[in-house]
Chain A
Amino acid sequence: MAKFEYAPAPESRAIVDLQPSYGLFIGGEFVPGQGGAGFKTVSPATEEVLAEVTDATAADVDAAVAAARAAYEQVWGRMPGGDRGKYLFRIARILQERAREFAVLESLDNGKPIRESRDVDVPLAAAHFFYHAGWADKLQYASLGPDPRPHGVVGQVIPWNFPLLMLAWKIAPALATGNTVVLKPAETTPLTALLFAQVCQQADLPPGVVNIVTGAGATGQAIVDHPGVDKLAFTGSTAVGKMIARSIAGTRKHATLELGGKAANIVFDDAPIDQAVEGIVNGIFFNQGHVCCAGSRLLVQESVAEEVEKRLKRRLATLRVGDPLDKNTDVGAINSRAQLERITALTAAGEAEGAQRWDTGCELPAKGFWFRPTVFTGVSQTHRIAQEEIFGPVLSVLTFRTPQEAVAKANNTPYGLSAGVWTEKGSRILWMADQLRAGVVWANTFNKFDPTSPFGGYKESGYGREGGRHGLAAYVTTGESQ
Chain B
Amino acid sequence: MTTSTTAAAADVSARARDLLGVSRLSNAALSSWLHGLPGVDQVGCEARAAALGTRSIKTSAKAWAIDAAISMIDLTTLEGADTVGKVRSLCAKALVPDPSEPATPRPAAVCVYGDMVATAREALGSSGIHVAAVATAFPSGRAMMDVKLADTADAVAAGADEIDMVIDRGAFLSGRYLQVFEEIARVKEACGSAHLKVIMETGELVTYDNVRRASWLSMLAGADFIKTSTGKVAPAATLPVTLIMLEAVRDWRDLTGEMVGVKPAGGIRTSKDALKYLVTVNETAGEDWLTPEWFRFGASSLLNDLLLQRQKLRTGAYSGPDYVTID
Interface residues of A (CB under 8 A from B): 2-9, 115, 119, 270-276, 278-279, 318, 327-328, 424, 444-445
Contact = CB atoms under 8 A, between A and B. Distances in A.
Contacts of B56: 6, 9, 327-328
A115 B287 CA distance: 23
17 contacts: A4-B61, A4-B278, A4-B279, A5-B64, A7-B57, A270-B39, A272-B40, A272-B44, A273-B38, A274-B48, A278-B44, A278-B47, A328-B55, A328-B56, A444-B44, A445-B43, A445-B44
A275 B58 CA distance: 28
Contacts of A2: 287
A275 B61 contact: no
B196 interface: no
A119 B278 CA distance: 22
A6 B47 CA distance: 21
A6 B38 CA distance: 31
A9 B39 CA distance: 35
B44, B45, B62, B65: residue with the most chain A Cβ atoms closer than 10 Å:
B44
Nearest to A327: B56
Contacts of B59: 7
A119 B54 contact: yes
A273 B48 CA distance: 13
A424 B59 CA distance: 43
A7 B60 contact: yes
Interface string B267-279: 0000000000011
B290 interface: yes
B41 interface: yes
Interface range for B:
20 to 34
B126 to A, nearest CB: 28
B204 interface: no
A153 B68 CA distance: 61
A232 to B, nearest CB: 36
A5 B44 contact: no
B301 interface: no
A312 to B, nearest CB: 14
B293 interface: no
Contact of B44 (A4, A115, A119, A275): A275
Given A4-B278, A5-B61, A318-B283, A278 B38 contact: no
Interchain residue pairs A-B with the least CB separation, the first 6: A275-B44, A9-B56, A327-B56, A272-B41, A275-B41, A7-B61
B319 interface: no
B282 interface: yes
A64 B273 CA distance: 52
B34 to A, nearest CB: 15
Interface of B: 38-41, 43-45, 47-48, 54-62, 64-65, 68, 247, 278-279, 282-283, 287, 290
Contact of A3 (B45, B48, B287): B287
Contacts of B247: 274
A444 B48 CA distance: 13
Contacts of A272: 38-41, 44
A278 B41 CA distance: 11
Contacts of A4: 61, 64-65, 68, 278-279, 282, 287, 290
Given A7-B59, A115-B54, A327-B56, A274 B38 contact: yes
B58 A9 contact: yes
Nearest to B287: A3
B282 A444 contact: no
Nearest to A11: B56
Contacts of B44: 272, 274-276, 278-279, 444-445
A6 B55 contact: yes
A114 to B, nearest CB: 10
A274 B55 contact: no
A444 B43 contact: yes
B56, B279, B283: residue with the most chain A Cβ atoms closer than 10 Å:
B56
Contacts of B65: 4
Nearest to B44: A275
Nearest to B48: A278
Nearest to A304: B38
A275 B45 contact: yes
A3 B64 CA distance: 9
A119 B51 CA distance: 10
Given A4-B290, A9-B58, A275-B44, 4 more contacts: A2-B287, A6-B57, A6-B61, A424-B39
Nearest to B281: A4
Contacts of B38: 270-274
B284 to A, nearest CB: 9
Nearest to A281: B48
A225 B8 CA distance: 82
Contact of B62 (A7, A119, A273, A445): A7
Contacts of A444: 41, 43-44
Contacts of A278: 44, 47-48
B68 to A, nearest CB: 8
A248 B287 CA distance: 59
A273 B55 CA distance: 23
A272 B57 CA distance: 30
Nearest to A8: B58
Contacts of A271: 38-39
B226 to A, nearest CB: 17
Contacts of B54: 115, 119, 327
A4 B279 CA distance: 8
Contacts of A9: 56-58
A275 B55 contact: no
Nearest to B275: A4
Contacts of A3: 282, 287, 290
B172 to A, nearest CB: 21
Nearest to A3: B287
A340 to B, nearest CB: 27
A279 B51 CA distance: 13
A7 B61 CA distance: 5
A8 B43 CA distance: 30
A444 B57 CA distance: 30
A26 to B, nearest CB: 40
A8 B62 CA distance: 11
